[in-house]
């Protein structure tokens, strides 16, 4: 999937966790041979059910976890190697993360100005310039200068998430990893935060890896979408293409679970169940990521690949 337009390339990424005592150890393959790429200034949605490895993938890319194996490149540079001060500085200058929990991700003992401006202070910027930059960023995320002296417990969930966004944006990174940034918020606040991210992306030319399990939100916000299941990437396609022509049985099962706003159509909505043992036979053919249609990749066997082309190519 190498392309000169790519700013982030993930190749065969694995993240395994081992637990237990000697003689009774267990290895969890949280991310298992995942490959995908993200183009500059696009929003790439990463979706799947809880526990499928979405968050672990994002944390491995930004090096909150050290990858077990695989290669991650950012703007052509390998960032999955041994961590040192120079690589840490490079990552902090080019990547930032918006965390899922807007309450736990903010230090309750620090003021909002200290939280947002901490990265600038570490870079040696004067307090006066930090204050000016923090106030400017607060205005961009819909808050005011007077909020700078307050503490996280004085804000609502939506306001806390705006603070988290401001903290990620203030260093002007080129890539934002947004880990379910609206899952803990009310529906009305979700729309405000999504619109804020959309506006800031256009204004600052950001690239966003948007991790979520809400397929309706991902459809609205993403240019391309990757679907994960049990640590593996099973389908990658442009957003419109994925929703109009889902190929992998798991993707179709996910889409069938989206509630319909119309009570008449919701009454007749048919859920699709995904049972890997029933839907696939990999005893003779090994699956791999294949480009079934232009820019539409599916994790499938050779016979499944031919089936998708013949059946879905007609629609």
Looking at the domain assignment, is residue 26 inside a domain? no
Query: At a CB cut-off of 8 Å and minimum separation 6, what does 14 contact?
Result: 29, 31, 32, 33, 34, 67, 68, 69, 70
Looking at the domain assignment, is residue 265 inside a domain? yes
pLDDT tens string 24-39: 888 999 999 999 999 9
Indicate the residue among 190, 207, 231 that finishes a domain: 231
Looking at the domain assignment, is residue 208 inside a domain? yes
One domain, residues 177 and 263 = no
pLDDT of amino acid 53: 93
**103, 163 contact by CB (below 8 A):** no
Task: State both tokens at 111.
Answer: 């003021």
* Domain total in the chain: 2
One domain, residues 150 and 187 = yes
One domain, residues 261 and 165 = no
Looking at the domain assignment, is residue 126 inside a domain? yes
One domain, residues 97 and 218 = yes
Looking at the domain assignment, is residue 238 inside a domain? no
C-beta neighbour count of 231 within 10 angstroms: 22
One domain, residues 45 and 184 = yes
Which structural domain range is residue 198 located in?
Answer: 40-63+81-231
pLDDT tens string 106-140: 999 999 999 999 999 988 899 999 999 999 999 98
pLDDT of amino acid 133: 96
One domain, residues 44 and 179 = yes
Looking at the domain assignment, is residue 5 inside a domain? no
**226, 44 contact by CB (below 8 A):** yes
Query: At a CB cut-off of 8 Å and minimum separation 6, what does 117 contact?
Result: 130, 131, 133, 134, 170
Query: At a CB cut-off of 8 Å and minimum separation 6, what does 275 contact?
Result: none
**176, 168 contact by CB (below 8 A):** yes
Nearest to 138 by CA among 117, 155, 118, 163: 163
Indicate the residue among 231, 260, 285 that finishes a domain: 231
Those residues of the chain that have pLDDT short of 70 are 1-3, 313-315
**H or E, element range at 9:** strand 6-21
Indicate the residue among 231, 266, 301 that finishes a domain: 231
One domain, residues 47 and 116 = yes
d(CA 89, CA 206): 19
pLDDT of amino acid 147: 96
């Amino acid at each position: 999937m190498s392309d000169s337009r790519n700013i982030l390339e993930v190749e065969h990424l694995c993240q395994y966790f081992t637990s237990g005592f000697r003689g009774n150890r267990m290895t969890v393959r949280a991310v298992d041979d995942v490959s995908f790429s993200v183009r500059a200034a696009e929003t790439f949605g990463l979706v799947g059910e809880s526990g499928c490895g979405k968050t672990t993938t994002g944390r491995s890319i930004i090096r909150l976890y050290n990858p077990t194996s695989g290669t991650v490149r950012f703007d052509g540079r390998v960032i999955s190697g041994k961590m040192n001060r120079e690589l840490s500085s490079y990552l902090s200058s080019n990547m930032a993360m918006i965390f899922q929990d807007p309450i736990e991700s903010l230090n309750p003992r620090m003021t909002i100005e200290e939280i947002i401006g901490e990265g600038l202070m570490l870079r040696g910027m004067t307090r006066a310039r930090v204050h000016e930059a923090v106030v400017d960023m607060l205005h961009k995320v819909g808050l005011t200068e007077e909020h700078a002296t307050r503490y996280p417990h004085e804000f609502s969930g939506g306001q806390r998430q705006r603070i988290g966004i401001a903290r990620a944006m203030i260093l002007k990174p080129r890539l934002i990893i947004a880990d379910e940034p609206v899952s803990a918020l009310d529906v009305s606040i979700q729309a405000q935060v999504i619109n804020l991210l959309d506006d800031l992306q256009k204004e600052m030319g950001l690239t966003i890896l948007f991790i979520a399990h809400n397929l309706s939100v991902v459809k609205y916000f993403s240019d391309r979408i990757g679907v994960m299941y049990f640590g593996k990437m099973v389908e990658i396609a442009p957003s419109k293409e994925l929703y109009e022509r889902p190929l992998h049985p798991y993707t179709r099962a996910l889409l069938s679970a989206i509630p319909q706003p119309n009570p008449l159509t919701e009454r007749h909505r048919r859920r699709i169940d995904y049972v890997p043992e029933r839907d696939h036979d990999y005893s003779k053919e090994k699956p791999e990521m294949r480009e079934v249609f232009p820019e539409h990749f599916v994790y499938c066997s050779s016979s499944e690949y031919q089936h998708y082309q013949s059946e879905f190519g007609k629609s």
